[in-house]
């Protein structure tokens, strides 16, 4: 335990990381409230469960069309300025919702459009900041950095989710938009302080020039890199299963809390906060478990544990059971950090943006398919049944992880 704490503390000797840690904690505080507010607000306006799915559908579209080109930008432009500009842009977009609300003209399509624009910023920000961390933090410290960042994210999300239901009850969902916008501004200020000057991730001698032809050349280089390093594909495949799970539970949670458990906005916030609490614990103990049992064992066990957690949550009848199930889902979902870290370690710094964004295209396509499917199935079948089906899908992924990471490792050990 003491070794784990010393290793965790060591990451805070990097000034750039400390700034990122506090920026992302504050930002996730706002984002944790944002999901609750968006879902509840659109349900109030439309009265239809399918509206929550449409909000999420709009948020998945940018990744399908923009991800490959975003990857080129991440690998060509200064990542510090790119990430900060996306924070400020998302803050400006969010302010539109309170304005429409106070004018008495807020409609569902406004929320769909805002979700789309925020997602555009997310699609640029996420691979940018991931590559920025890989750029500034030594490779051997990446697992500590990612798990500690996960703790920061979930601390913010936990506080935000728990507070969101109370603020919605006391005031209105739109006040959360102001809070989230302010959190993006704080994040931008922290990112701008992470390092001085301008640093282009791809050295000038490795560039193919400027213009449209050079842009396409950089784009194809990313695809070639993936073909030459196929060992990263299974890691992203598992992340795809995890993304699918997160998208599914997101689109189902609001109708489940409101229509099945009948716990209101407070209960909705408490359940979502339980996920953050579980993820917080998972992120804290993950390095210790990896050190004791090995990375491949935890990568496999985490998928199987997530499957069991989904089955338990599907059977919940009361608020405490739902919170316990969502806590376990958040706890086991942190296995995602192992797949992410393993992928980061395998990819050279100058290709981080293009590789991650290429796979993010598939993540976005899968997300869109899930949202469309859930918008239909949510009206036709029991929400409990849909949670069970998602648990079955993750169970299959767990067996796949065992084959790809555990079985093959044992086979290589025997052959050697």
**pLDDT computed for residue 202 by the predictor:** 65
* Mean pLDDT to the nearest integer, 69-75: 82
The tens digit of pLDDT for each residue in 200-249 reads 776 555 555 555 555 566 667 777 888 888 888 888 889 888 988 887 88
**CA atoms of 174 and 106, how far apart (whole Å):** 10
Q: Would you kindly state where each structural domain of the chain is located, as residue ranges? A: 13-196+211-415
The pLDDT of residue 127 is above 70:
yes
The tens digit of pLDDT for each residue in 103-116 reads 888 888 888 898 89
The pLDDT of residue 335 is above 90:
yes
**pLDDT computed for residue 2 by the predictor:** 58
Q: Which residue has the higher pLDDT, 334 or 36?
A: 334
**pLDDT computed for residue 88 by the predictor:** 95
Q: What is the pTM of this model?
A: 0.71
The pLDDT of residue 326 is above 90:
yes
The pLDDT of residue 1 is above 50:
yes
* Mean pLDDT to the nearest integer, 268-284: 85
The model's confidence at residue 91, banded by pLDDT at 50, 70 and 90, is very high
Q: Could you tell me which of 407, 115, 353 has the C-alpha nearest to residue 225?
A: 353
Q: Which residue has the higher pLDDT, 201 or 293?
A: 293
**pLDDT computed for residue 209 by the predictor:** 54
**pLDDT computed for residue 13 by the predictor:** 85
Which stretches of 171-232 are DSSP H helices? 174-192, 212-228
What percentage of the chain has pLDDT greater than the value 90?
Answer: 19
Any idea which residue has 């989710």 for tokens? 161
Q: Which CATH number fits domain 13-196+211-415: 3.40.1190.20, 1.20.1250.20, 3.40.1260.10, 1.10.10.10?
A: 1.20.1250.20
Mean pLDDT of the chain: 82
**pLDDT computed for residue 414 by the predictor:** 41
**CA atoms of 117 and 256, how far apart (whole Å):** 27
The pLDDT of residue 53 is above 80:
no
- Give me the sign of the Cα torsion angle 216, 367, 309, 278: positive
Which stretches of 229-335 are DSSP H helices? 233-255, 264-293, 295-314, 319-333
**pLDDT computed for residue 217 by the predictor:** 66
The pLDDT of residue 319 is above 90:
yes
Q: Could you tell me which of 287, 332, 311 has the C-alpha nearest to residue 143?
A: 287
The pLDDT of residue 69 is above 70:
yes
The tens digit of pLDDT for each residue in 138-174 reads 877 888 888 888 777 777 766 776 677 778 777 777 8
**CA atoms of 186 and 252, how far apart (whole Å):** 31
The pLDDT of residue 405 is above 80:
no
Residues 6 or more apart whose CB falls under 8 angstroms from that of 33 comprise 160, 161, 163, 164, 167, 176, 179, 180
């Amino acid at each position: 335990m003491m070794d784990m704490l010393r290793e965790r503390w060591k990451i805070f000797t990097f000034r750039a990381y400390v700034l990122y840690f506090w920026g992302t904690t504050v930002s996730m505080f706002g984002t944790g409230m944002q999901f609750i507010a968006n879902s509840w607000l659109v349900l109030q306006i439309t009265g239809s469960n399918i509206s929550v799915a449409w909000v999420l559908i709009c948020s998945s579209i940018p990744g399908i069309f923009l991800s490959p080109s975003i990857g080129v930008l991440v690998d060509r432009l200064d990542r510090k300025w790119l990430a900060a500009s996306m924070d400020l842009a998302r803050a400006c977009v969010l302010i539109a919702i309170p304005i429409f609300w106070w004018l008495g003209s807020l409609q569902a399509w406004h929320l769909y459009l805002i979700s789309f624009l925020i997602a555009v910023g997310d699609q640029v920000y996420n691979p940018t900041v991931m590559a920025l961390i890989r750029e500034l933090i030594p490779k051997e410290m990446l697992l500590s950095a990612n798990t500690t960042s996960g703790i920061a994210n979930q601390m913010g999300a936990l506080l935000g989710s728990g507070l969101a239901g109370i603020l919605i009850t006391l005031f209105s969902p739109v006040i959360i938009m102001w809070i989230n916008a302010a959190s993006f501004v704080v994040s931008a200020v922290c990112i701008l302080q992470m390092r001085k000057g301008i640093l282009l991730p791809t050295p000038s001698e490795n560039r193919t020039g400027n213009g449209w032809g050079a842009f396409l050349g950089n784009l194809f280089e990313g695809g070639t890199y993936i073909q030459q390093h196929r060992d990263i594909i299974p890691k992203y495949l598992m992340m795809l299963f995890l993304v699918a799970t997160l998208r599914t539970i997101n689109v189902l949670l609001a109708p489940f809390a409101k229509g099945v458990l009948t716990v209101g906005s407070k209960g909705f916030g408490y359940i979502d906060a339980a996920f953050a609490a579980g993820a917080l614990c998972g992120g804290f103990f993950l390095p210790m478990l990896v050190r004791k049992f090995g990375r491949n064992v935890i990568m496999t066990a985490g998928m199987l544990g997530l499957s069991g957690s989904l089955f338990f949550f599907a059977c919940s009848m009361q608020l405490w059971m739902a919170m316990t199930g969502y806590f376990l889902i958040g706890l086991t979902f942190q296995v995602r950090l192992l797949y992410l870290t393993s992928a980061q370690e395998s990819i050279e710094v100058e290709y981080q943006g293009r590789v991650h964004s290429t796979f993010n295209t598939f993540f976005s396509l899968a997300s869109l398919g899930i949202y469309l499917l859930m918008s239909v199935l949510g009206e036709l079948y029991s929400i409990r049944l849909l949670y069970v089906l998602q648990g079955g899908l993750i169970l299959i992924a767990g067996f796949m992880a065992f084959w790809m990471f555990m079985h093959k490792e044992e086979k290589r050990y025997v052959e050697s």
